[in-house]
Amino acid sequence: MSQSPARHYRFSSGGRAGVLLGMSLRQALPIVIGVLFLTVMLMVQLPLIGLLGPLAGCIVSFGRWHRAPLFEAAVPGVVMTWARWRKRSTWTRSSLTGSNGESIDDLPAAMSGLQLFEVADTFLAQERSIGVVADRRAGTLSLVLAVRGSGFPVASLSEQDALVGVWGNALAPLARARCLVSRLTWQEWTHPVGMDGHRRFLESARNGSAETTAGDDYEQLLVEQSPFTIAHEVLLTVTADLRRVRARRGVGVEQVALDGLIDEVRQLAARLETAGISVPGLLSPAEITQAVRARSDPTRALVHLPSESSLAVASRRHAHQWGPMAVEPDWLHVRVDGCAHRSYFVASWPMLPVRADWMGPLLTVDGVTRTVTIVMEPVALTAAAQDANRQLTSIEADQQQKERHGFRLTARERRRHDDVESREHELAEGHPLFRHVGLVTVTAPNLDLLDDAAATVEQAAAQSMLDLRPLAARQSEGWMASLPLGRSVRQGKW
């Protein structure tokens, strides 16, 4: 019996049509401002000073600083420098005893507006408390699911293709009109777990006896294998937009949105279970708190969930201490409590066709603590078709403009046209569209170890044919995006 050949998957170039000769609005704006400055200087007869405008505009539009385009990092860089000059760049918790009520103020700027509370619900036939993350600034509610998969790395290529197909079918119903789910955030957190359990077993086996050759050999084996003993934890955050919800008589918008979100998550969990992904359940406030603390500072002694009978849980005050104690952002990293974080965004996805396991090198890198975050935004078919038509029209107009001015079309621009055209055909056939962005956050106890770990992750990403670019001057947002709280880097700024 012949086996069907493995499928290959293609990613679009990801670029959007520019507003001026292929440049985006943010990249073209400094040049336009520089030209306007030159025009004003010519009117007042100061041509030499006026030439500084276009020169500065070109530097900002095409220059780079620490591998980041200046037109992307200029504004957040100025904000960060201004905060440092005012000695307000470092945030520290103002109260160590928590606050009364449901305060959302004692949080760093990246977490401002977030609130964690709990509700009781029967989810998957289990009566338990559910943690709900409310983003007052963005007007969203988020629930966090623990998910577990197995068998994909060791499956054959045809079996992997089948799994990818059923996973896509599980997500497809979310890409419909008037669906209140606005975002899905997948976060795969990998961290070394060490050999403490094996060492305790070795000590108990010795039972006070003298060291033996076998014991020494076993200890040496533990030392060699310790960097390769890693744990993988996957969380799925489902976010609902309150603006898509209409209030009912006697029921507030937030309650209606929460009821609808729980129902959507319940149906999604059932589809994922059918697709072979285990869904143990929704996280409680204590479990969300633990996830935030552990991913912010894995070196902390807090390695177990708060006991259900503890005073903090009984008084319902553990959620108020879910934030960090101190946050200090820098250009290429951010310090959170006892750890440093460096975040990247995926500047370009694989340009060549890839197979289903193409992210294997990045997901299986060992010896480092890192989080891979994939943010997916479902788009209704009608809206996706209209957007594809607008992009195709804009690309064709941009190409005509370049040809009129004597500029040649590059291979990348021709491929972008083909990508959008292919997407338009797929939408016409009924395939759903999910906008997506990828983020990678590396964590280490100090900057030297962070540089080493970041270099390892960059090499692994290159093997997966991913181009990672640091979030220059926006490391606080990158760290925030690595937490299961339903908030990502602000749209249009990656």
CB 269 within 8 A of CB 145: yes
How do residues 70-84 score in pLDDT, each as one tens digit?
A: 777 778 888 888 888
Q: Distances from the Cα of 108 to the Cαs of 256, 328, 480, 493, 494, in angstroms?
A: 29, 10, 10, 20, 21
The SS3 of residue 168 is helix
Is pLDDT above 80 for 401? no
Is pLDDT above 60 for 192? yes
> At how many degrees (to 10) do helices 411-428 and 381-404 cross?
150
pLDDT value of residue 218? 62
* CA separation for the pair 121, 130 (Å, rounded): 7
* CA separation for the pair 215, 199 (Å, rounded): 10
With the CA atoms of 412, 418, 424 and 430 taken in that order, what torsion angle do they form, in degrees rounded to the nearest 10? -100
Q: What is the largest CA-CA distance in the chain?
A: 93
| pLDDT class of 211 with cuts at 50, 70, 90 | low
The SS3 of residue 101 is coil
Give mean pLDDT, residues 1-24. 66
pLDDT value of residue 222? 57
Residues 6+ apart with CB under 8 A from 8: 353, 354, 355
CB 193 within 8 A of CB 222: no
DSSP string, 392-425: HHHHHHHHHHHHHTTPPPPHHHHHHHHHHHHHHH
Give mean pLDDT, residues 368-385. 91
DSSP state of 358: T
Is pLDDT above 60 for 315? no
Is pLDDT above 60 for 104? no
* CA separation for the pair 270, 247 (Å, rounded): 27
pLDDT value of residue 412? 75
Residues 6+ apart with CB under 8 A from 333: 340, 341, 342, 447, 450, 475
Nearest Cα residue to 380 out of 181, 97, 90, 82: 181
Element (H, E) at 389: helix 381-404
**Structure token pair of residue 315:** 């008084």
DSSP string, 330-346: -SS-EEETTEEEEEEEE
First to last CA, the chain: 48
Q: Distances from the Cα of 192 to the Cαs of 149, 188, 196, 293, 337, in angstroms?
A: 19, 13, 11, 16, 19
**Structure token pair of residue 262:** 């729980």
* CA separation for the pair 13, 11 (Å, rounded): 6
Share of the chain above pLDDT 90, in %: 35
**Structure token pair of residue 345:** 């965004």
Pairing of strands 181-192, 369-379: antiparallel
What one-letter code names the amino acid at 252? Answer: G
Average pLDDT over the chain, rounded to an integer? 81
How do residues 253-274 score in pLDDT, each as one tens digit?
A: 888 899 899 999 999 999 999 9
Q: Residue 261: how many CA atoms within 13 Å on its side-chain side?
A: 31
CA 96 remoteness from chain centre: 29
CB 189 within 8 A of CB 232: yes
Is pLDDT above 50 for 102? no
How do residues 319-332 score in pLDDT, each as one tens digit?
A: 557 889 899 999 89
Highest mean pLDDT pick, 113-117, 303-307, 369-373: 369-373
- Give the global pTM: 0.83
pLDDT value of residue 309? 46
Nearest 5°: the CA angle 195, 203, 225 is 25
Is pLDDT above 90 for 483? yes
Nearest Cα residue to 484 out of 119, 116, 146, 237: 237
